[in-house]
Amino acid sequence: MEWVDAKTIIKIKISISTDVNSPKSSYRIISAIDTKCYKYDYHGDLGFIVPIGASVDIQIPFSMLKKCYEALKSDSGYDGKYFREHYSKQASDHPCHVHTVGQIFVAADLAVMKNNKYYFIGNRDVVQ
């Protein structure tokens, strides 16, 4: 599945109040969609706002999801190592970016989480 199709699915399945918590989190409920993101030089890319605590939010732009989607589709999947290599500042500021991105893919029915990694559902050999 190409990114353009995955993005369409994400836009259909993810809405305000979608739960993107990992098994160890509790605040991650989408609070805004199609919001312009500027932090970390996102240049106004559209994306999501997700609370990660009682008073802290993170921005997840579609440009980030696109890059992470490519890792998700690979045999090795998407994980924290990949995220830290490509988004070191965000990972350093708030490591919860890793699982928030992964759980967006899970909530959109594009991925499954297995052993702290995320795998594309269409990649049956890896998921089983």
Q: Using CA atoms, how far apart are residues 33 and 47, in angstroms rounded to an integer? A: 6
pLDDT, residue 117, reads 93
pTM listed for this prediction:
0.92
pLDDT class of 126 with cuts at 50, 70, 90: low
Exposed/middle/buried for 46, CB within 10 Å: 0-12, 13-18, 19+? middle
Residues 6 or more apart whose CB falls under 8 angstroms from that of 85 comprise none
CA 44 – CA 90 distance, rounded (Å) = 16
Amino acid, res. 108: A
Domain locations in the chain as residue ranges: 3-127
pLDDT in tens, 13-52: 999 999 998 878 788 999 999 999 999 989 999 999 999 8
